[in-house]
């Protein structure tokens, strides 16, 4: 069992054990068990991305990584649609127990995985080679990676803000009951994500085969197109659910294209021996700077605008109407940051050809 496989196997074991097997009795216990889930996620993602790069040639990596990332929208769909129903019928603890079962099965199956040779699928002979120096500085010394790391923080800010508050937004602003709000969230965030990933993977491979920065152009243009969709979705009046679903679903679908283009682009500028490290640094920024601050800042903005609406009305009692107005205003940060993300990816695309050529030169023994 190789290092990537070992890390991945441990992640499958840690995640279910912390998620459901130990009864949660208060907020502190939930916080601690959530840390355990985070350890599992942090171990699996860099190892899995590195292994996929070793198994698939550059021309297929967009589709391969997109297929791997299907777990995200499918998981979102199940978490909104299925877990809510389990919790409603059997209690919220039962939903945690149910969620841990796939991890136990996958932990056993991961023992069957064979560790691929580093760089085995590369067109240029780089297997077993790596540059001298600190792996962290080598990764951070790649200009494209710096832009991609910043993009990851922006993207996860948006994704976690939407995931955290969409159901509440539908309940407060569009007056849906909890069952309808969770189903709408499942469709808007989960089902359409499958289309975005698969279509994005195909487009990333197609354009990536014709120009060195083609994958990042796919991601940048997708974020640019997502911006008006997200803005117009939020601009819909209360009760306009169908229009909201079409626009927000379109924006969400385009946001999932990000993974198809960016994850495969990382493999185009980082040598095989450093891809696990590169993904670890990238995910660190995504979650510490993006996922942590996305829900927090959106929540703070929501409270601020709710109090402002209450003050403008000249009352001292916070009502659901003011909470709805506050959350509605706060969520406009999402299309604004999506536009900023498109610009960051554009900058990454401009830097990428030079980094691709530098890597190819080194892998070909010319540097």
pLDDT in tens, 114-145: 877 776 667 766 655 677 888 899 999 999 99
The arithmetic mean of pLDDT across residues 7-30, rounded, is 51
Q: For residue 30, what pLDDT is reported?
A: 72
Task: Take residue 229 and report the two structure tokens written for it.
Answer: 């969709």
| Rounded CA separation 274/300 (Å) | 38
Q: For residue 231, what pLDDT is reported?
A: 98
| Rounded CA separation 334/56 (Å) | 34
Q: For residue 219, what pLDDT is reported?
A: 98
Q: For residue 41, what pLDDT is reported?
A: 67
Which domains does the chain show, CATH number per domain?
3-363 (1.20.1250.20)
Cβ–Cβ < 8 Å for 128, 17:
no
Percent of residues in the chain assigned helix, strand, coil, to nearest 5? 80, 0, 20
Sign for the CA dihedral angle at 334, 281, 354, 50 comes to negative
| Rounded CA separation 184/166 (Å) | 9
Binned at pLDDT 50, 70 and 90, residue 321 comes out as: very high
Point out the least confidently predicted range of 179-193, 227-241, 252-266.
Answer: 179-193
Please state, for a pLDDT cut of 70, what percent of the chain lies above it: 86
Q: For residue 18, what pLDDT is reported?
A: 46
Question: Which of these, 358, 359, 281, 348, lies nearest to 122 by C-alpha position?
Answer: 359
Cβ–Cβ < 8 Å for 53, 267:
yes
Averaged pLDDT score across all residues of the chain: 86
Query: If you compute the radius of gyration of the chain from its CA atoms, what whole number of angstroms results?
Result: 21
Q: For residue 91, what pLDDT is reported?
A: 77
For residues 26 and 111, which has the higher predicted lDDT (pLDDT)? 111
Question: Which of these, 125, 131, 144, lies nearest to 273 by C-alpha position?
Answer: 131
Point out the least confidently predicted range of 115-124, 274-283, 324-333, 352-361.
Answer: 115-124
The arithmetic mean of pLDDT across residues 320-346, rounded, is 96
For residues 46 and 154, which has the higher predicted lDDT (pLDDT)? 154
Question: Which residues, in sequence order, are CB contacts of 87 under 8 Å at separation 6+?
Answer: 94, 95
pLDDT at 8 over 60: no
pLDDT at 11 over 80: no
Q: What's the whole-model pTM score?
A: 0.85
């Amino acid at each position: 069992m190789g290092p990537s496989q070992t890390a991945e196997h441990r992640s499958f074991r840690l995640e279910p054990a912390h998620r459901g097997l130990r009864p949660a009795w208060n907020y502190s216990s939930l916080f601690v068990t959530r840390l355990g889930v985070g350890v599992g996620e942090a171990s699996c993602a860099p190892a899995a991305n590195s292994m996929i790069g070793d198994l698939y040639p550059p021309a297929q990596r967009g589709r391969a990584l997109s297929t791997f990332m299907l777990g995200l929208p499918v998981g979102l769909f199940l978490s909104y649609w299925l877990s809510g129903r389990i919790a409603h019928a059997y209690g919220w603890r039962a939903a945690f127990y149910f969620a841990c079962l796939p991890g136990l099965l996958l932990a056993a199956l991961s023992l069957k995985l064979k560790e691929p040779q580093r760089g085995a699928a590369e067109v240029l002979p780089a297997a077993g080679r790596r540059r001298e120096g600190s792996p962290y500085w080598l990764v951070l010394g790649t200009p494209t990676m710096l832009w991609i790391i910043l993009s990851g923080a922006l993207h996860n800010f948006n994704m976690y803000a939407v995931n955290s508050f969409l159901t509440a937004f539908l309940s407060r602003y569009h007056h849906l009951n909890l069952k309808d709000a969770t189903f709408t969230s499942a469709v808007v965030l989960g089902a359409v994500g499958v289309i975005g990933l698969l279509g994005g993977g195909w487009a990333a491979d197609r354009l990536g085969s014709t120009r060195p920065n083609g994958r990042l152009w796919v991601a940048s243009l997708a974020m640019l197109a997502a911006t008006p969709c997200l803005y117009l979705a939020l601009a819909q009046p209360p009760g306009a659910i169908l229009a909201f679903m079409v626009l927000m679903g379109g924006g969400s679908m385009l946001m999932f294209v990000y993974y198809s283009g960016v994850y495969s682009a990382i493999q185009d500028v980082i040598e095989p021996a450093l891809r696990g490290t590169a993904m670890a640094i990238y995910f660190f920024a995504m979650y510490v700077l993006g996922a942590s601050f996305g829900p927090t800042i959106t929540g703070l903005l929501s409270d601020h605008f709710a109090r402002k609406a209450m003050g403008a009305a000249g009352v001292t009692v916070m009502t659901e109407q003011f909470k709805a107005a506050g959350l509605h205003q706060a969520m406009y940060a999402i299309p604004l940051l999506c536009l900023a993300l498109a610009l960051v990816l554009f900058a990454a695309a401009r830097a990428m050809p030079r980094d691709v050529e530098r890597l190819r030169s080194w892998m070909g023994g010319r540097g």
